[in-house]
Amino acid sequence: MTFNLKIPFLGFENIKTMELQKIDDVFARLTTSQRNDATFTLINPFILRDYQFEIPTQIEHLLQLDDAQELLIYNTVVLNSKIEESTINFAAPIVFNVTNKSMAQIILSNSDIYGIDEKLSSFLPKEQS
């Protein structure tokens, strides 16, 4: 699905549309074919933890969330060669309004609750000896 980016990502100000490709119930890929191709690996945070935040009113209006019938929320992942060492940015979720194909990234003000580089391993079941 192609989404219109309502607020540019930092460092990617020229990107206006992005393609969301769901890999499975956990992972997705966000790409652009515009100048300076960019690809982001995303993860469904609700699979990993209790994850709650308020969407700022400005973002609600930009994405027309009051009309949304389907909403997706993902977080970016920095992949490591050892998957359990990959890190997740819970402090900057990406919100997708599937109904009108719009999206925006939110920077959470309560970043003391959610980190920008939490290791995936901390959310995986621990091996018992």
> How do residues 1-55 score in pLDDT, each as one tens digit?
999 999 888 778 888 899 999 999 999 999 986 665 788 999 999 999 999 998 9
Please tell me what DSSP assigns to residue 9. B
**CATH for 2-114?**
2.30.290.10
Q: What's residue 127's pLDDT?
A: 63
pLDDT at 60 over 70: yes
Q: What's residue 28's pLDDT?
A: 96
H/E stretch holding 19: strand 17-22
Q: What's residue 83's pLDDT?
A: 85
* Cβ pair 8, 36 in contact under 8 A: no
* Cβ pair 88, 42 in contact under 8 A: no
Q: What's residue 96's pLDDT?
A: 95
Tokens matching residue 73: 């929320």
- Mean pLDDT of the chain, nearest integer: 88
How many residues are recorded in the chain?
Answer: 129
Reported pTM: 0.89
Across residues 47-75, what is the average pLDDT? Answer: 90
Q: How far apart are CA 22 and CA 26, in angstroms?
A: 9
Q: Which of 6, 10, 30 is nearest to 97 (CA)?
A: 6
pLDDT at 124 over 90: no
